[in-house]
C-alpha cells in the first residue's frame, strides 16, 4: 500500500484535481473516492485529520424510523447497508480494524401507546427494509435476553429489537480511512480553506498558500458554514449552525455483540474490549464548546438508569465537540450559490457517520461532471436556502 504525501511549508506550490476542505469522515471519503476515480486530491484540515466532531465516541449507525417513507430515508437505508461492505474493503486493504459490528438496536417501550407504534413500524420495516430475506427485522419482544440491558423499569411495555443498526469505533474508522489513502492524496494539516475563486480555480489557505484546483469540496463540519458565508458573502447562519454534543466512554464487562440501546435521545453503545460509549447532548447555546459539564453528568445518569448494568462503571473519557447542523437539519450537498466548482458536503448532524460515503459519492459525482441525481431533494443546497 502506498502512503499519502504530507506537506507543511506554505511555500509549496500545489495543484490538484480536487481540493477537500475538512478532514473529518466526509472529507476522508471524498479523498478516497477521488483516489478511486484517478483524481489527484489535496485534503486540508484546520487542525489535524479527525480532530473535530468525527473524532468522537458514540459511533451509532441507526436508521430513521420506517414510517412516512421518503427519499431521505431511502438514501440513508442504502448507505447503512452498503457501508458494511465498504468498511470491510478498508479493513482488508489496511489490516486495521474499524470496530464495526452489525449489532442491532434495542428500543425500550416506556408508554402504553409505544407498543401500538412498534406494531405499525414493524409492518413498515417489513415493507421498506426488505423483510426476512434482507436479514433486517423489526420485532417486538417482552424483554431482551439479558437482564438489565435495558432495565425493566425502562421497558414496561416491551422492547423492539431491530437488526439493521450497527456501530463503528469513530477513531479507529478515521485512522483506517487515512491509512488507506495513497500517493494521489496530499494532506495539509493545521491549514484551512480561506478563499476560493470559482472563475480561476484558485484557492487560498489560512497560511497564505495558493492551490490551483479543478473543484473544491467544503466538508469542514460546522466550520463549513463560516467559510461558505465568507466566500458567497452571506451570513453563516444562512447555511447552518454548530450544535454542541457531549459523550462519555465507560469501562465495564459488556458483551460487544449486544445491541446498542436508544431511548429519548440517550445512546448506550457497546464497543470492543469492554468499552461502552454513552451520549449525547444537543446544545444550541454554550459557552465552552470543547468542555464537558453537568449536562454530561445527566447523560451518564440517564444511561445508567436505562441500562443498570452500567452502574459503578468507571468513566475513562469525557468528550465534547461541535457538530454541523444545516439550516433545515438534513445534510447539505451541492454547488455553492453562484459557483460551479465549489461543492458543499456537510451538515449531516447525527447521521453523518452512516451516510458519509454516500454524501462523498454525490460530491465526487458533481466534480466529475455528473448531474447529482442521487442527491435527495431535501439535501440540496437550493432546498436549504429556499
Domains 8-55+172-240+327-385 and 102-164+242-323 share a fold: no
A 10 A CB-CB count for 14 gives: 17
Question: Per-residue pLDDT for 5 more than 90?
Answer: no
The predicted structure's pLDDT at residue 132: 63
Segment 318-369, tens digit of pLDDT = 999 999 999 998 999 999 999 999 999 999 889 999 999 999 999 999 999 9
Question: Per-residue pLDDT for 7 more than 50?
Answer: no
Q: What does pTM read for this prediction?
A: 0.94
Structure confidence at residue 13 as a pLDDT band (50, 70, 90): low
The predicted structure's pLDDT at residue 261: 98
Pick 102-164+242-323's CATH classification: 1.10.10.10, 3.30.379.10, 3.30.9.10, 3.80.10.10: 3.30.9.10
A 10 A CB-CB count for 386 gives: 7
Segment 101-151, tens digit of pLDDT = 999 999 999 999 999 999 999 999 999 998 766 789 999 999 898 899 999
184 touches 18 (CB < 8 A):
no
For residue 195, the SS3 value is strand
For residue 301, the SS3 value is helix
Gap between the Cα atoms of 250 and 276, Å rounded: 5
Backbone angles phi, psi at 161, to 5 degrees: -115, 115
Gap between the Cα atoms of 23 and 243, Å rounded: 19
Average pLDDT, the chain: 94
Question: Per-residue pLDDT for 225 more than 70?
Answer: yes
Question: Per-residue pLDDT for 9 more than 60?
Answer: no
- Where do the domains of the chain lie? 8-55+172-240+327-385, 102-164+242-323
Segment 232-286, tens digit of pLDDT = 999 999 999 999 999 999 999 899 999 999 999 999 999 999 999 999 999 999 9
Which contacts of 64-67 are long-range, i.e. CB under 8 A and separated by 24 or more positions?
64/351, 65/121, 66/121, 66/124, 66/125, 66/127, 66/128, 66/129, 66/138, 67/120, 67/121, 67/124
Closest by CA to 82, choosing from 374, 377, 292, is 374
Which helix (H) or strand (E) covers residue 161, if one does? strand 159-162
Question: Per-residue pLDDT for 23 more than 80?
Answer: yes
Q: What CATH number labels 8-55+172-240+327-385?
A: 3.50.50.60
Segment 292-319, tens digit of pLDDT = 999 999 999 999 999 999 999 999 999 9
Gap between the Cα atoms of 172 and 251, Å rounded: 18
Q: What is the DSSP letter of 63?
A: P
A 10 A CB-CB count for 311 gives: 11
Segment 64-111, tens digit of pLDDT = 999 999 999 999 999 999 999 999 999 999 999 999 999 999 999 999
Query: Which residues lie across from 188 on neighbouring strands?
Result: 44
Closest by CA to 381, choosing from 334, 327, 348, is 334
Question: Per-residue pLDDT for 6 more than 70?
Answer: no
The predicted structure's pLDDT at residue 133: 67
What DSSP string runs through 326-369?
A: ETTSS-EEEEPTT-SSEEEEE-BGGGHHHHHHHHHHHHHHHHTT
Amino acid at each position: 500500500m502506498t502512503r499519502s504525501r504530507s506537506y507543511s511549508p506554505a511555500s509549496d506550490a500545489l495543484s490538484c484535481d480536487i481540493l477537500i476542505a475538512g478532514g473529518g469522515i466526509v472529507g476522508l471519503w471524498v479523498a478516497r473516492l477521488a483516489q478511486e476515480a484517478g483524481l489527484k486530491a489535496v485534503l486540508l484540515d484546520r487542525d489535524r485529520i479527525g480532530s473535530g466532531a468525527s473524532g468522537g465516541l458514540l459511533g451509532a449507525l441507526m436508521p430513521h424510523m420506517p414510517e412516512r417513507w421518503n427519499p431521505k430515508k431511502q438514501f440513508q437505508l442504502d448507505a447503512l447497508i452498503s457501508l458494511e461492505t465498504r468498511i470491510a474493503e478498508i479493513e482488508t486493504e489496511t489490516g486495521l480494524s474499524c470496530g464495526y459490528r452489525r449489532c442491532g438496536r434495542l428500543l425500550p417501550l416506556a408508554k402504553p401507546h409505544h407498543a401500538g407504534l412498534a406494531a405499525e413500524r414493524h409492518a413498515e420495516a417489513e415493507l421498506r427494509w426488505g423483510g426476512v430475506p434482507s436479514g433486517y427485522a423489526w420485532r417486538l419482544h417482552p424483554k431482551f435476553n439479558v437482564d438489565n440491558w435495558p432495565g425493566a423499569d425502562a421497558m414496561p411495555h416491551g422492547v423492539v429489537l431491530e437488526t439493521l443498526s450497527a456501530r463503528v469505533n469513530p477513531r479507529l474508522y478515521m485512522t483506517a480511512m487515512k491509512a488507506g489513502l495513497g500517493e494521489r492524496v496530499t494532506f495539509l494539516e493545521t491549514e484551512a480553506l480561506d478563499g476560493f475563486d470559482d472563475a480561476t480555480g484558485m484557492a487560498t489557505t489560512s497560511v497564505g498558500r495558493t492551490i490551483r484546483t479543478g473543484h473544491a469540496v467544503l466538508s469542514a463540519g460546522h466550520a463549513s458554514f463560516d467559510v461558505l458565508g465568507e466566500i458567497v458573502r452571506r451570513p453563516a447562519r444562512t447555511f447552518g449552525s454548530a450544535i454542541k454534543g457531549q459523550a462519555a466512554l465507560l469501562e465495564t464487562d459488556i458483551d460487544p455483540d449486544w445491541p446498542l440501546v436508544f431511548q429519548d435521545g440517550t445512546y448506550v453503545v457497546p464497543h470492543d474490549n469492554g468499552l461502552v460509549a454513552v451520549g449525547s447532548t444537543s446544545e444550541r447555546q454554550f459557552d465552552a464548546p470543547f468542555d464537558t459539564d453537568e449536562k454530561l453528568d445527566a447523560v451518564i445518569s440517564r444511561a445508567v438508569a436505562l441500562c443498570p448494568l452500567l452502574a459503578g462503571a468507571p468513566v475513562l473519557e469525557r468528550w465534547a465537540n461541535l457538530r454541523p447542523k444545516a439550516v433545515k437539519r438534513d445534510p447539505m450537498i451541492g454547488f455553492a450559490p453562484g459557483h460551479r466548482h465549489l461543492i458543499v458536503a456537510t451538515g449531516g448532524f447525527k447521521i453523518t457517520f452512516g451516510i458519509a460515503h454516500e454524501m462523498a459519492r454525490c460530491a465526487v459525482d458533481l466534480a466529475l461532471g455528473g448531474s447529482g441525481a442521487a442527491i435527495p431533494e431535501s439535501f440540496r443546497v437550493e432546498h436549504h436556502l429556499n
